[in-house]
Structure 1
Amino acid sequence: MTDAGAGRVVLLGGGAVGSLVGGGLAASGHDVVLIDGWPEHVRAIRAHGLVVDTPEGEQRSRPEAWDLGEAHRLRGTNVSVAFLTVKLYDTDWAAALLAAWLPQGVPVVTLQNALVEERVARAVGWGRTLGAIGGGLNVFMAGPGVVRRAGRRGAAGGAVFKVGELHGRRTPRAERIAALLSAVDASAVTTDLWTERWTKLCANTMTTGLSGLTGLSLIETYTRADTGGIAVRLAAEAIAVGEALGFRLETLFGLPPRVWCEAAAGEPAARAGARDAMARQAAAMVEGGMSGTLQDLLKGRPTEVAFFNGFIAAEGGRLGVAAPTHARIAALIAEAEQGRLAIGTDALDRILH
């Protein structure tokens, strides 16, 4: 079955986002297949089900779990839609795997955190590719078979998932996919996927690398004066690079882009507005939420910062738009990944100087 109609829902990538979405859909009665390369995670789901621990309570579901080596089973499966939920650096091979084994015509949705739709479309076809943005999920793996969400459902006050066609038109299949994701949290169709992508990228780059370097929780990163000040600088640099690329954001965390730029320049009222906006973000979370970058560093895994801060720094360099704070964070994360920089708040001095 094609075009997001009746059939199985496939998620390639069973990490925090894939498990949150897969668990939520399975708990709502959908036929879900979760494909992942972490053997202990697959075994735990098969034996005990998938636990999604949220501020609202614990949810246990029974999606089908496959190892990566079983992906060939997709060939003869009635699939309605496939979500790509792998790490950004795994996008190319994962898209190629879906291209090899998915039935023809099944839409592929990039539920990831950066602008990778073009890479996916090169593998599976432009006509099959859609993008989906998940904002304010704040999820992490607590162990095999257990995913924890630090953000409250509905706390965003609007759509958490935004589904869009690459061509920007509203289509029935985008509406069906958004309706599907509404089983997990509020969802909507966007007709401006690329601006939504850049907005989410700006938001991610403000905190994830900063949290990873300092070892601070997301709440602390948003609310401390020192990290909050750096986050404002990161926002202003990302907005400037985005404008040079042609992106015109409406708001970032509820504030017009100019406010973040004025705050970075030291304007008192704008700085107060930025602090309030970040405090609102923190208020929607529960204690203990860690950025994905911090989780990866603690587990000794590569991070996605090259696709976040590193990407903005590289695009800024190409366009002649300075993004020194992004460049510094990307460079320090690379050191931390190689074990040459200890995680801790001492890293703040190295970010600033």
Structure 2
Amino acid sequence: MKPRSRIVLLGGGAVGSLVGGGLAAAGHEVVLVDGWHDHVEAIRADGLRVTTPEGAQTVRLQAWHLCDAYRLRDARADVAFLTVKLYDTDWAAALLATWLPQLVPVVTLQNALVEERVARFIGHGRTLGGIGSGLDVFMAGPGEVRRTRKRGAAGGNVFKIGEMHGRRTPRAEAIAAMLSDVDTAAVTTDLWTERWVKLTANTMTSGLSGLTGLSLKAVYSGEETRRIAIRLGAEAIALGRAMGFTLERLFGLPGEAWLRAAAGDAEAEAAALDAMAAQAASMVDGGMSGTLQDLSKGRPTEVAFFNGFIATEAARLGLAAPTHARVAALIAEAESGNLPLGLGNLALITAGTTAT
């Protein structure tokens, strides 16, 4: 039997709630700290409702408001997960640095390249990277999280835990074993490449879902959305190579295949289209990307850390990433309320951009 762990999650959104709920259901002691008042109160009153393609269950765990964060000093936690939005990283990391006992490691279960930012507050020796791929989760309301991807169906390990220095350690292995109670998990000794793979995948689909209002399954299934996603993937892969990231496979295909597909190679394009369709086959209907969820709620998106980051870094290195730049610009318009969501935005993405 696995040992029972004491776990803190700062950030009770979709990822934090899914992971926290899964760990609590497996018997771990879980504290979820969040700033959404109604969510915390719903969990306290009725538990956390977790719905997945395998079924639904209500689990009990501790839910704290942000004003309760001082209690972390006495929480005796074994590990803390940072599961906030990317634009909330700095203050959230500072909060953990203030109240979490200094021997407790912190795992950045977020998107994009955030470990260095977190380490500035927490310290490099305490910071680990955590990647969650193929989760496809959203909040259905206070106290209720839903997942639209079947357990183990994403291909490969869903969770990857890595030390910043790249060595395999007992604590990384223990955290990966813990997360295997939620879905498949493993230790990676190449955190930065894994980060780039996840970033590339996010930038291929999340923005498209947000701008069109389509579910993730629909993005992975649609002919036009898949073709735009191929261009986005190729631009990110080309930039990653220039920055020293060697992306071996993305959605089961070698990085070179995505570059050839974007350049017009018919065989590579067919393989890329099929690879994305295969992702759709592992999902159920209704899953919204994080970008679509944010736009629907009138919240800021993470586009500056996704497509915006790719566009900015490409420009800095003298490379072209026009599709990313276009997606980032359109999402910024949507955030400000000047651009309605809909399929018509696909034409706006392709207007004035060229294939890589």
Amino acid at match of 1:101: W
Aligned to 1:197: 195
Separation of aligned partners in 2, 1:142 and 1:313: 32
Amino acid at match of 1:305: V
Q: 1:93 Cα shift?
A: 0.2
Which deviates more, 318-327 or 156-165?
156-165
Q: 1:7 Cα shift?
A: 4.9
Amino acid at match of 1:36: D
Separation of aligned partners in 2, 1:222 and 1:55: 18
Is contact 1:6–1:80 with CA below 8 Å preserved after alignment? Answer: no
Aligned to 2:7: 9
Aligned to 1:59: 57
Separation of aligned partners in 2, 1:158 and 1:268: 27
Aligned to 2:293: 295
SS of 1:78's equivalent in the other structure is: coil
Amino acid at match of 1:321: L
SS of 2:249's equivalent in the other structure is: coil
Residues 10-29 of structure 1 correspond to what in structure 2 (within 5 A)?
A: 10-29=8-27
Separation of aligned partners in 1, 2:246 and 2:84: 28
Among 68, 73, 76, the alignment partner of 1:75 is 73
TM-score (norm 2): 0.97
Aligned to 1:139: 137
Aligned to 1:217: 215
SS of 2:250's equivalent in the other structure is: coil
Q: 1:156 Cα shift?
A: 2.1
Give the % identical residues. Answer: 72
Q: 1:118 Cα shift?
A: 0.2
Q: 1:219 Cα shift?
A: 1.3
Deviations 1:316-338 (A, max 9, x none): 01111100000000010000000
TM-score (norm 1): 0.98
Deviations 1:205-251 (A, max 9, x none): 00000110011111111121111110000000000010010000110
Q: Label 1:211 to 1:20 Cα distance change in 2 as closer, same or farther (>3 A).
A: same
Separation of aligned partners in 2, 1:349 and 1:286: 27
Among 43, 47, 50, the alignment partner of 2:41 is 43
1:315 aligns with 2:339: no
Aligned to 1:226: 224
1:107 aligns with 2:110: no
Separation of aligned partners in 1, 2:202 and 2:268: 20
Aligned to 1:130: 128
Q: 1:157 Cα shift?
A: 3.4
Aligned to 1:242: 240
Separation of aligned partners in 2, 1:98 and 1:75: 9
Deviations 1:77-128 (A, max 9, x none): 2010000000000000000000000001100000001100000000010000
Is contact 2:73–2:101 with CA below 8 Å preserved after alignment? Answer: yes
Q: Which runs of 5+ in 1 are unaligned?
A: none
SS of 2:342's equivalent in the other structure is: coil
Q: Which runs of 5+ in 2 are unaligned?
A: 352-356
SS of 2:253's equivalent in the other structure is: coil
Query: Which consecutive segments of 4 or more residues in structure 1 shift more than 4 A?
Result: none
1:261 aligns with 2:259: yes
How many residue pairs match? The answer is 349
